[in-house]
A and B are shown apart, each in its own frame.
Chain A
Amino acid sequence: MVTGPANNGAKGSFDLKEVSVTYGSETAVAGVSMHIPPCAVTALIGPSGCGKSTLLRCLNRMNDELGNATVGGTILLDGVDIYGKELDPVELRTKVGQVFQKPNPFPMSIYDNVAYGPRTQGIRRRAELDEVVERSLKRSALWGEVKKDLKKHAFELSGGQQQRLCIARALATQPEVVLMDEPASSLDPISTQQIEDTIAELKEHVTIVIVTHNMQQAARISDQTAFMLRESMEAPAELIEVGETRVMFTNPRDKRTEAYITGRFG
């Protein structure tokens, strides 16, 4: 089992048991069982359309918002069933934040973007908000570039800065987990590097689950890797292999994993 550094009693671990996702009559993902350790980076890799993003969206119940998706099996966050009746998905999302593929800052100032989540949580005091905004922007490594001009409109930032703003925005609600859906796929190499550096620092305190197309990226930043594959158009996507990243990239157990990571398909 993979564990992050110094995480005794740390929060933000997931346990998935036989998780499946069905859209109408079509099963998109089936039979996924895995453990996601706290304060570590778990990468979901696999070819396009293999259900990585779908699985990711199960973890903060964003699939609920997309209409006709049904999630089967159980997903436990620190032992609590997140699809249980007593759990409010809106509440869950303050614990499990998400960063999207395309930077999606709100059309407001940098400050207001970061303060958006905390304000929803009822934080009104200016000093307290100031502190959350500063801490979040520091953690997403954007503070140095924007601290003089927090009133600036978020759309004036570059793509990479916008994405780090979105990371800060997700961190501001103090989540235990941050889900990232190909957060660097629309960015240039330097911005990508900055995002990866940010992720490396974040995992000290939060669990990160990242979907990525880029296997080098998975190898560089993750502690654990899960390889997903949809073997035919008719069959649902499955989890082929999950394990410590170092082991998986040097000595994969499954032939299909080996074929994928050596670039023979996908």
Chain B
Amino acid sequence: MLTPPSSRRRLGRPVSSRAADGVVKRIISLSGVLAIVILAAIGIFLGLNAVRALHDVGFWTMATGTEWYPTIAEPRFGFVPLLAGSAAVTLTALLLSVPVSIAAALFISEFANRRVKDVAKSIIEFMAAVPSVVYGLVGIAIVVPWVKETFELDSGLSALSGAIVLAFMIAPTIVSISEDALHAVPDELRQGSLALGNTRWQTSYKVVLPSASSGILAAVMLGMGRAIGETMAVLMLTGNAARIPGSLFDSVRTITGTIAAEMGSVVQGGLHQSVLFALGLVLFSITFAINLVADLVLEKQRKRWRR
């Protein structure tokens, strides 16, 4: 039924509109609940499949074991080499990516003019859209030979190669979320600082950057979550030796790389498969925790400007 807009405004919302409101509200809250249910289901599914591993091998044996030989007669299922591999690649990638990404975000937010800003943002969006296997190919073609020659190694397939490519892959996440946080800093603060005789640069690092610090921290953590979870590129670039690395030039195998590489060749319902599920559960818990903390930090940041 059609109601002229003017009469609708005068008489308040008609009953049908209120009913529609209720339906929409229910659909939205249902989607929210569904997201939580799916997340819980993933956790439970991983847990159920990992039961055998937890029972036969034991959590501590896996968590503290330093050897990963899953296919020999008496298999060893120690996660430590894999955790170390993931940690080496992830932390190095962060170390390489964070300073440059934050600087880029600061440039886009505080110094770039409209046109440069638009171009930079498109490039960053594009970087996020490139499939990770393509990053892997570029890494094999360029980064691996470069690392091999520069550091005079026998093979360029190393933690460092994986980390360099990963640094590019997590940059879009860190740049765009940091840029949001910087953008959210009220303009009055910038003007207040400029009016006190500070240059734009002084204003940026003394007022804007500290004001956005929690958002930037969240950006780094989300980048870290992405780095830990990344599979294909690291699988292609790190050489995949499941040993505790002595240096960044050693070949490493990450948690994700292990699951992806071995899941296809295990016996269905076998112990090895169950251990891989347990490994998946560990990865799930780590990324879940990182994202949760990042979200809490971001929420705190949002509240800060809601004065």
Whether A170 lies near B195 (C-beta < 8 A) is: yes
Per-residue B-contact encoding for A151-170, CB less than 8 Å = 1, 0 else: 00001000000000010011
Instruction: Enumerate chain B residues within 8 angstroms of A166, measured Cβ to Cβ.
Output: 192
With known contacts A104-B186, A107-B211, A108-B210, A93–B197 Cβ distance under 8 A: yes
Within the complex, which residue of B186, B189, B198, B211 is in contact with A120, where a contact is CB–CB below 8 Å? B198
Whether B188 lies near A104 (C-beta < 8 A) is: yes
Whether B307 lies near A155 (C-beta < 8 A) is: yes
Instruction: Enumerate chain B residues within 8 angstroms of A120, measured Cβ to Cβ.
Output: 196-198, 202, 206
Residues 179-217 of B at the A interface (beta carbon under 8 Å): 186, 188-189, 191-199, 202, 206-207, 210-211
Give the distance in Å from the alpha carbon of A106 to the alpha carbon of B210 in the complex.
10
A98 at the interface (CB under 8 A from B): yes
Size bin of chain B's contact surface: 10 to 19
Give the distance in Å from the alpha carbon of A105 to the alpha carbon of B189 in the complex.
7
A188 at the interface (CB under 8 A from B): no
Residues 152-202 of B at the A interface (beta carbon under 8 Å): 186, 188-189, 191-199, 202
Minimum distance in angstroms from B34 CB to a CB of chain A: 38
Minimum distance in angstroms from B184 CB to a CB of chain A: 12
Instruction: Enumerate chain B residues within 8 angstroms of A93, measured Cβ to Cβ.
Output: 194-197
Instruction: Enumerate chain A residues within 8 angstroms of B196, measured Cβ to Cβ.
Output: 93-94, 97, 116-117, 120, 169-170, 173
Q: How many interface contacts (CB-CB < 8 Å) are there between A and B?
A: 62
A128 at the interface (CB under 8 A from B): no
Instruction: Enumerate chain B residues within 8 angstroms of A91, measured Cβ to Cβ.
Output: 197
Give the distance in Å from the alpha carbon of A196 to the alpha carbon of B194 in the complex.
25
With known contacts A106-B211, A107-B210, A117–B197 Cβ distance under 8 A: yes
B304 at the interface (CB under 8 A from A): yes
Which residues of B are interface residues toward A (Cβ below 8 A)?
186, 188-189, 191-199, 202, 206-207, 210-211, 304, 307
Whether A60 lies near B193 (C-beta < 8 A) is: no
Give the distance in Å from the alpha carbon of A166 to the alpha carbon of B210 in the complex.
19
| 26 pairs of residues in contact across A and B, judged by CB atoms under 8 Å | A62-B194, A62-B195, A90-B197, A90-B199, A92-B197, A93-B194, A94-B196, A97-B196, A100-B191, A100-B195, A104-B186, A104-B188, A105-B192, A106-B193, A107-B189, A107-B211, A117-B197, A120-B196, A120-B197, A120-B198, A120-B202, A120-B206, A155-B304, A155-B307, A166-B192, A173-B196
Chain A minimum-CB-distance residue to B198: A120
Chain B minimum-CB-distance residue to A166: B192
Per-residue B-contact encoding for A74-118, CB less than 8 Å = 1, 0 else: 000000000000000011111001101010111110000000110
Within the complex, which residue of B188, B197, B304 is in contact with A173, where a contact is CB–CB below 8 Å? B197
Minimum distance in angstroms from A30 CB to a CB of chain B: 25
Instruction: Enumerate chain B residues within 8 angstroms of A106, measured Cβ to Cβ.
Output: 189, 192-193, 207, 211
Give the distance in Å from the alpha carbon of A237 to the alpha carbon of B67 in the complex.
80
Residue with the highest number of chain B CB atoms closer than 10 Å, among A65, A107, A121, A166: A107
Whether A104 lies near B211 (C-beta < 8 A) is: no
Known pairs A62-B191, A94-B197, A97-B195; list 7 more (Cβ under 8 Å): A91-B197, A97-B196, A104-B191, A106-B192, A106-B211, A116-B196, A120-B196
Instruction: Enumerate chain A residues within 8 angstroms of B198, measured Cβ to Cβ.
Output: 90, 120
Minimum distance in angstroms from A88 CB to a CB of chain B: 9
Q: Is the interface of B mostly helix, strand, loop or mixed?
A: helix
Instruction: Enumerate chain B residues within 8 angstroms of A104, measured Cβ to Cβ.
Output: 186, 188-189, 191-192
Give the distance in Å from the alpha carbon of A65 to the alpha carbon of B197 in the complex.
12
Give the distance in Å from the alpha carbon of A14 to the alpha carbon of B194 in the complex.
21
Instruction: Enumerate chain A residues within 8 angstroms of B211, measured Cβ to Cβ.
Output: 106-107
Residue with the highest number of chain A CB atoms closer than 10 Å, among B188, B189, B197, B210: B197
With known contacts A90-B199, A107-B211, A102–B188 Cβ distance under 8 A: yes
Instruction: Enumerate chain B residues within 8 angstroms of A105, measured Cβ to Cβ.
Output: 192
The 4 closest A-B pairs by CB, nearest first: A94-B197, A104-B188, A98-B195, A93-B197
Minimum distance in angstroms from A153 CB to a CB of chain B: 11
Minimum distance in angstroms from B181 CB to a CB of chain A: 13
Minimum distance in angstroms from B302 CB to a CB of chain A: 14
Chain B minimum-CB-distance residue to A119: B206
Whether A100 lies near B188 (C-beta < 8 A) is: yes
Minimum distance in angstroms from A132 CB to a CB of chain B: 13
Give the distance in Å from the alpha carbon of A127 to the alpha carbon of B198 in the complex.
23
Give the distance in Å from the alpha carbon of A169 to the alpha carbon of B189 in the complex.
13
Minimum distance in angstroms from B268 CB to a CB of chain A: 56
Give the distance in Å from the alpha carbon of A176 to the alpha carbon of B184 in the complex.
33
Instruction: Enumerate chain B residues within 8 angstroms of A92, measured Cβ to Cβ.
Output: 197
Give the distance in Å from the alpha carbon of A120 to the alpha carbon of B199 in the complex.
10
Instruction: Enumerate chain A residues within 8 angstroms of B199, measured Cβ to Cβ.
Output: 90
Instruction: Enumerate chain B residues within 8 angstroms of A102, measured Cβ to Cβ.
Output: 188
Minimum distance in angstroms from B200 CB to a CB of chain A: 8
Give the distance in Å from the alpha carbon of A76 to the alpha carbon of B211 in the complex.
36
Whether A65 lies near B194 (C-beta < 8 A) is: yes
Give the distance in Å from the alpha carbon of A106 to the alpha carbon of B304 in the complex.
12
Give the distance in Å from the alpha carbon of A106 to the alpha carbon of B211 in the complex.
8
Instruction: Enumerate chain A residues within 8 angstroms of B189, measured Cβ to Cβ.
Output: 104, 106-107
Give the distance in Å from the alpha carbon of A107 to the alpha carbon of B307 in the complex.
12
Chain A minimum-CB-distance residue to B113: A67
Instruction: Enumerate chain A residues within 8 angstroms of B186, measured Cβ to Cβ.
Output: 104
Minimum distance in angstroms from A150 CB to a CB of chain B: 18
